[in-house]
Amino acid sequence: MDYEDKTLKCRDCGRDFTFTAGEQAFYSEKGFENEPARCPECRASKKRERNFGGRGPRQLHEVVCDECGSSTQVPFVPREGRPVYCRDCFDKMNSRASAK
Ligand SMILES: [Zn+2]
Ligand SMILES: [Zn+2]
């Protein structure tokens, strides 16, 4: 089957982009039924966003370590009545727990 370059409109930025013959062959080889909805740039930035969302900057909360009493920051909301530990104490406890 022969493919020809096709011009598609990006759903995100509205720009025309080329869905090349090579890409079309790749898509049908992979069994993708839909044509790409976004231009390569928008696809790349979407991907970046997704990667970033996984480990983006998180809200830090100031807490006092239950073990050593020094103030530290944790990336979660500390719950009332539950001990929180600074990184050092947390690591210490973890290594203690995993030590056999
Ligand atoms: Zn775009
Ligand atoms: Zn501590």
Residue 71: strand pairing partners: 64
Is residue 16 located within the same domain as residue 47? yes
- 32 CA → ligand 1 middle, Å: 20
How far is it, in rounded angstroms, from Cα 39 to Cα 44? 9
Backbone torsion region of residue 36, taken as left when φ is above 0, otherwise alpha when ψ lies between -120 and 50, otherwise beta: beta
pLDDT in tens, 45-63: 988 877 766 555 667 888 8
- 16 CA → ligand 1 middle, Å: 8
Range of weakest confidence among 15-19, 38-42, 54-58, 86-90? 54-58
Is residue 14 located within the same domain as residue 47? yes
- In the structure, ligand 1 is a single-atom ion and the residues with CB under 5 Å from it are 10, 12-13, 39, 42
Nearest to 86 by CA among 57, 56, 66, 61: 66
Nearest to 21 by CA among 11, 12, 13, 29: 29
What's the domain range around 46?
A: 6-52
Domain membership flag for residue 40: yes
Chain Cα centroid distance, residue 91: 25
- 74 CA → ligand 2 middle, Å: 12
